[in-house]
């Protein structure tokens, strides 16, 4: 009999991939809509989408490794996670830069 934690470790990548399908659908809807103002900054969202794509690659590799269809060392997941975190940090920095420039512009307009 398989313990609960072992069963969860086997099934979790499949659940993650199923939830990612919903997130990809939402990203596609967001990218297709025309912005109602020019102040919307989508560039950070593109980097978050890239992080999601890397996450999908990581999960597919995990599923294939669990099914013993490929042989990858476990430390390869660390590289995927490093790339994901880098994309997320960069998108946050882009958003901060956009908001700083926007607030500086609004302060100039008030004077």
Q: Cα(59)–Cα(18) distance, rounded to whole angstroms?
A: 11
**In the prediction, which pLDDT does 2 show?**
64
* C-alpha closest to that of 51 among 85, 17, 23: 85
- Round the average pLDDT of the chain to a whole number and report it: 84
**In the prediction, which pLDDT does 109 show?**
59
**In the prediction, which pLDDT does 12 show?**
82
Determine the structural domain holding residue 49 and report its residue range.
Answer: 4-106
* C-alpha closest to that of 60 among 48, 49, 72, 50: 72
Q: Is 76 part of any domain?
A: yes
Q: Cα(96)–Cα(103) distance, rounded to whole angstroms?
A: 10
Domain count, the chain: 1
pLDDT tens for each residue of 51-95 = 999 999 998 888 888 888 888 887 888 999 999 999 999 999 999
Q: Is 111 part of any domain?
A: no
Q: Is pLDDT at 103 greater than 90 in this prediction?
A: no
- 91 vs 38: which has the higher pLDDT: 91
Q: Is 101 part of any domain?
A: yes
């Amino acid at each position: 009999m398989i313990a609960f934690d072992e069963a969860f470790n086997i099934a979790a990548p499949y659940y993650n991939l199923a939830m990612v399908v919903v997130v990809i659908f939402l990203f596609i809807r967001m990218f297709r809509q025309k912005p109602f103002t020019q102040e919307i900054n989508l560039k950070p969202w593109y980097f978050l989408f890239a992080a999601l794509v890397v996450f999908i690659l990581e999960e597919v590799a995990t599923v294939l490794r669990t099914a013993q269809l490929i042989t990858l060392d476990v430390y390869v997941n660390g590289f995927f996670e490093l790339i994901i975190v880098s994309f997320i940090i960069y998108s946050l920095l882009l958003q901060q830069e956009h908001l700083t420039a926007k607030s500086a512009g609004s302060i100039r307009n008030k004077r």
